[in-house]
A and B are shown apart, each in its own frame.
Chain A
Amino acid sequence: MLHIVNKSPFERNALESCLRFGRDGGAVLLIEDGVYAATRGNAAEPRIRQAMGRLKVYALQPDLEARGMQDAVIDGVKLVDYGGFVDLVAEHKVAQSWL
């Protein structure tokens, strides 16, 4: 299952819920304001690091760049462009958007 999170971790608990229900081996893609969770020093960093131990964590590079956060990405978070976004959706049987 691919979990897609588009909300800031400070604004909503979408990331938290997604990680609570995300099963081992699944994937999480952070987009839009969700990408802030993938940045160093963010209060969500420990949660992301913990999640990377059992899930693949991706972030959409264009959204990181738009927000000026492209140089602050946590090591181990995989960056994808729009094409990569489409590939991830195609690779997984189900994609769930945590709005």
Chain B
Amino acid sequence: MSESTGDAGMEEEASGTVKKFMFVNRKAPYGTVYALEALEVVLISAAFDQDVSMVFIDDGVYELVKGQNTKATGMKNFSPAYRALEGYDIEKLYVDQESLEARGLTTENLLVPVEVLNAAQMAELMDQQDIVISF
């Protein structure tokens, strides 16, 4: 581990142990720090070349709502970071259908392309993971 900064070392390490990571987002942005913390952990995990999925259920779907403007509140608008995930090879974004519907939202209201799953499909996806981390 002493040569952790070497490229060759990183690749060797990663190729041996690629695990399926799922990050479960269940909190609205801004009201608590969970959404932002989750995003930061996801970006860190991307550096380790793991197989990362992000799922958005319950109030977590609010994280992806288009048109967030925090100017008047003085808070940092971190929603553009979801658009940047693609650049870190994090392209598996899943949204729970029921959670969207209960909030009067459709994929039209979201700022990134996502795959909408029903509860059974989401459950199956969760079952396939090596590690599930919930925020």
Contacts and interface: CB of A to CB of B under 8 A. Distances in A.
A11 B75 CA distance: 21
A74 B31 CA distance: 21
B59 A68 contact: no
Interface of B: 27-32, 58-59, 62, 65-73, 75, 77, 79, 102-105, 109
A67 B65 contact: yes
A39 B79 contact: no
Given A11-B27, A67-B30, 20 more contacts: A10-B59, A11-B59, A32-B30, A33-B28, A33-B30, A36-B59, A36-B62, A41-B104, A43-B102, A62-B73, A65-B72, A66-B70, A67-B29, A67-B62, A67-B65, A68-B68, A68-B69, A70-B69, A72-B104, A82-B72
B104 A8 contact: no
Interface of A: 6-8, 10-11, 32-33, 36, 39-43, 45, 61-63, 65-72, 81-82
